[in-house]
């Protein structure tokens, strides 16, 4: 086939499937039985449907042809699902490789009673019926609520109320008034002003939802600015944009922390986000009858304010409270003991001896920073860790973003993949990384460094999605360890800590002037219990990770506690899922989506 004919043939196959699907879901259709089984079936036996609010108002994944069709036809009727047609604004249907499978990938659009929607279809040939194509994956996602579209592009405000009223308040005056909340309470209170808080506040603001961010730091961006001196992001710029405002194309591939902190300040100002710094939530109680929170806020100057938002969004990260291990003898050490969140600059410890407990990104980066500043460093490993070179191996999962596609289209493809297939893809990335990084990994094993490669060899991404850490993107510290420039000891080799360092079981002593605990953070449910109480924490249950399911637990969706939401993750996750979280809140506010009932105790 020539290229033109191949493209024509692929598009014909896609249109044929869409036509069969539309006929099957049409009102009073008799095609349901043949859609489920037989040569004219729509879905492979081992297929997946992921819905992002379009038809079910949920983030959910269904597997298997019978289960998909059983639920799909039910929700299609209830949602008013209209015909599926190829998306003229997206890339044309094409052959691609997803999770090791050659498949036809096509973008489509449709409408329901309440929303404009879009999706992705992936077709594979039926091995039992050559020439017949069935769906391998099917993704449906809400794009905009009809009549409540974001205030962007053609829907943007004219600005005339600011520029033509010569005697009235100008833009700055109105922004100051809006952010003061002297005459009202916000509809949504966002706790935490990092990438998660900024992303969801920006989305909600564009949907006309009155939103306030509160953050305990004294300046927007301090969650990055106040971290250790040498910190830069470990994944590349083109993956890390916030909604609506991509980073400038002149920026470096790996963004330094202070550059990012300044961007956060600029982003909040330009996106017209209401933001209170030096402000903490001291208590929050939900009134089931009123459907509102009673939230007590305290500012650094001691002033108090009580607010009654309908929604509280926790945007404090995957975890919020430092995890401090219980090591009895550590209290005998006479020098300072810091959690990694308190560490700032290795220059303070030049010529001194430092012990770093922990082998994740923070532990490695802090060890390298100390070594580069002239300190003698000993790293303690407590459990096996995953190590992957930052280039090229750690970037393998982001190859999609190097294609000739918009960030939005890459995000959409990423979101469309069901977790079981994402796992398969990451097993492949892990195999490639182990092969590429073999010389480094061999060097680490020779010094006794204990390696692992994630649950079922799914690599660093699933370590992040299940536990928020346990891996290191090597930017040089692993080489220093392998070369003996940074010492490594295993935790079970330590007899006890002493006033001057550590006593080892083999009789050696290791001196220390400082001990740094790069031991991560407690799961977010600890923060929920502290802030909202045990009853609310029990209603919500575990946060982050998958449990027995295929969607992240209690993230970006309604929880067992009405009015309480969670958003966290990488820049890409926050950029993608802030849209779906904001649309749920807007749909609730407009009465389009059924509210969650409190979970039973």
Looking at residue 40, its pLDDT comes to: 52
538 within 8 A of 525, measured Cβ to Cβ: no
Looking at residue 28, its pLDDT comes to: 55
Classify domain 324-519 at the CATH class level.
alpha beta
By C-alpha distance, which of 281, 152, 373, 225 is closest to 564? 281
CA distances, 348 to each of 344, 357, 359, 373 (Å) = 9, 18, 22, 8
**Up-side HSE of residue 204: CA atoms within 13 Å toward CB?**
28
DSSP helix/strand/coil, 415: helix
Residue 293: what are its φ and ψ, rounded to 5°? -95, 150
By C-alpha distance, which of 485, 483, 491, 498 is closest to 518? 491
The Cα 286–Cα 294 span in angstroms is: 6
Positive or negative torsion for Cα 72, 73, 77, 80: positive
Write down the number of H helices and E strands in the chain. Answer: 17, 27
Omega within 30 of 0 (cis) for the link into 382: no
117 within 8 A of 143, measured Cβ to Cβ: yes
431 within 8 A of 364, measured Cβ to Cβ: no
CA distances, 505 to each of 317, 495, 497, 508 (Å) = 38, 5, 11, 7
Determine the Cα angle at 18 with ends 15 and 21, to 5°. 150
Task: Return the domain boundaries, the chain.
Answer: 3-145, 202-320+522-589, 324-519
Give the pairing of strands 337-339 and 501-504: unpaired
Give all strands (DSSP E) within 485-559, no chain letters. Answer: 487-490, 494-498, 501-504, 509-511, 514-517, 521-523
By C-alpha distance, which of 103, 110, 105 is closest to 87? 110
Q: Which two tokens stand for residue 279?
A: 């402000």
Per CATH, 202-320+522-589 and 324-519 having the same topology is answered yes
Give all strands (DSSP E) within 343-464, no chain letters. Answer: 353-357, 376-381, 386-389
230 within 8 A of 256, measured Cβ to Cβ: no
Fold observed for domain 202-320+522-589: FAD/NAD(P)-binding domain (3.50.50)
The Cα 6–Cα 459 span in angstroms is: 36
CA distances, 309 to each of 21, 103, 128, 382, 425 (Å) = 43, 47, 57, 43, 41
207 within 8 A of 323, measured Cβ to Cβ: no
Task: State CA 350 to chain mean position distance.
Answer: 37
477 within 8 A of 516, measured Cβ to Cβ: no
The Cα 258–Cα 267 span in angstroms is: 14
Residues (pLDDT < 50) of the chain are 1-5, 31-32, 34, 36-39, 601
Q: Is 213 exposed, middle or buried (0-12, 13-18, 19+ CB in 10 A)?
A: buried
The Cα 220–Cα 463 span in angstroms is: 29
Give the number of other Cβ atoms within 10 Å of residue 493's Cβ: 15
The Cα 92–Cα 106 span in angstroms is: 7
Max intra-chain CA distance, the chain: 82
By C-alpha distance, which of 123, 119, 102, 122 is closest to 111? 119
Determine the Cα angle at 153 with ends 148 and 159, to 5°. 90
Residue 414: what are its φ and ψ, rounded to 5°? -60, -45
By C-alpha distance, which of 526, 583, 524 is closest to 558? 583
Give the number of other Cβ atoms within 10 Å of residue 525's Cβ: 18
Looking at residue 160, its pLDDT comes to: 58
pTM: 0.93
CATH architecture observed for domain 3-145: Roll (3.10)
CB burial of 226-235 (b: ≥16 within 10 Å; e: otherwise) equals: ebbebbebbb
DSSP sequence for 313-377: EE-S-SEEEE-----GGGGG--S-EEEGGG---GGGGTTSEEEEE--SHHHHHHHHHHHHTT-EE
146 within 8 A of 116, measured Cβ to Cβ: yes
Determine the Cα angle at 74 with ends 73 and 80, to 5°. 85
């Amino acid at each position: 086939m020539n290229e033109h004919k191949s493209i024509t043939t692929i598009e014909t196959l896609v249109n044929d499937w869409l036509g069969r699907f539309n006929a099957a879901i049409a009102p009073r259709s008799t095609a349901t039985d043949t859609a489920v089984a037989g040569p004219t079936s729509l879905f492979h036996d081992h297929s997946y449907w992921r819905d992002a609010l379009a038809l079910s108002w949920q983030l959910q994944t269904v597997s298997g042809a019978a289960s998909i069709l059983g639920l799909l036809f039910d929700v299609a009727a209830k949602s008013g699902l209209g015909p599926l047609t190829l998306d003229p604004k997206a890339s044309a249907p094409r052959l691609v490789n997803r999770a090791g499978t050659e498949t036809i990938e096509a973008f489509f659009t449709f409408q329901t009673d309440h929303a404009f929607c879009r999706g992705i279809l992936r077709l594979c040939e039926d091995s039992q019926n050559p020439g017949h194509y069935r769906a391998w994956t099917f993704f449906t996602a809400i794009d905009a609520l009809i009549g409540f579209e974001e205030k962007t592009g053609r829907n943007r405000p004219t600005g005339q109320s600011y520029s033509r009223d010569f005697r009235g308040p100008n833009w700055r005056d109105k922004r100051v008034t809006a952010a003061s909340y002297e005459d009202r309470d916000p509809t949504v209170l966002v706790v935490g002003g990092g990438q998660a808080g900024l992303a969801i506040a920006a989305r909600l603001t564009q949907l006309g939802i009155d939103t306030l961010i509160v953050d305990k730091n004294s300046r927007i961006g301090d969650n990055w600015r106040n971290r250790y001196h040498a910190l830069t992001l470990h994944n590349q710029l083109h993956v890390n944009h916030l909604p609506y405002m991509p980073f400038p194309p002149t920026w470096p591939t790996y963004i330094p922390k202070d550059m990012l902190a300044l961007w956060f300040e600029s982003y909040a100002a330009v996106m017209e986000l209401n933001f209170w710094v030096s402000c903490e939530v001291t208590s929050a109680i939900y009134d089931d009858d009123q459907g509102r929170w009673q939230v007590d806020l305290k500012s650094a100057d001691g002033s108090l304010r009580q607010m009654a938002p309908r929604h509280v969004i926790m945007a404090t990260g995957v975890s919020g409270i430092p995890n401090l291990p219980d090591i009895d003898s550590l209290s005998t050490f006479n020098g300072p003991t810091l959690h990694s969140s308190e560490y700032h600059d290795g220059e303070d410890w030049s010529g001194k001896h430092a012990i770093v407990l922990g082998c994740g990104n923070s532990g490695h980066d802090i060890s390298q920073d100390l070594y580069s500043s002239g300190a003698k460093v000993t790293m303690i490993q407590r459990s096996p860790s995953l190590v992957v070179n930052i280039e090229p191996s750690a970037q393998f999962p982001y190859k999609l973003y190097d294609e000739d596609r918009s960030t939005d289209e890459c995000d959409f493809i990423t979101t469309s993949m069901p977790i079981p297939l994402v796992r398969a893809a990451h097993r492949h990335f892990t195999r490639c990384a182990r092969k590429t990084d073999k010389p480094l990994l061999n060097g680490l094993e020779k010094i006794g460094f204990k390696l692992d490669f994630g649950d079922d060899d799914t690599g660093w991404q699933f370590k992040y999605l299940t536990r928020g850490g346990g891996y290191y993107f090597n930017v040089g510290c692993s080489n220093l360890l392998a070369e003996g420039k940074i010492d490594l000891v295993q935790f079970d080799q330590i007899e006890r800590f002493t006033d001057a360092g550590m006593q080892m079981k083999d009789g050696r002593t290791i001196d220390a002037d400082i001990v740094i605990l790069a031991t991560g953070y407690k799961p977010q449910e600890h923060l929920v219990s502290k802030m909202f109480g045990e009853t609310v924490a029990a209603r919500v249950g575990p946060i982050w990770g998958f449990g027995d399911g295929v969607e992240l637990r209690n993230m970006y969706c309604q929880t067992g506690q009405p009015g309480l939401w969670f958003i966290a993750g990488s820049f890409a996750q926050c950029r993608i899922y802030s849209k779906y979280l904001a649309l749920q809140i807007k749909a609730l506010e407009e009465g389009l989506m059924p509210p969650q009932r409190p979970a039973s105790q």
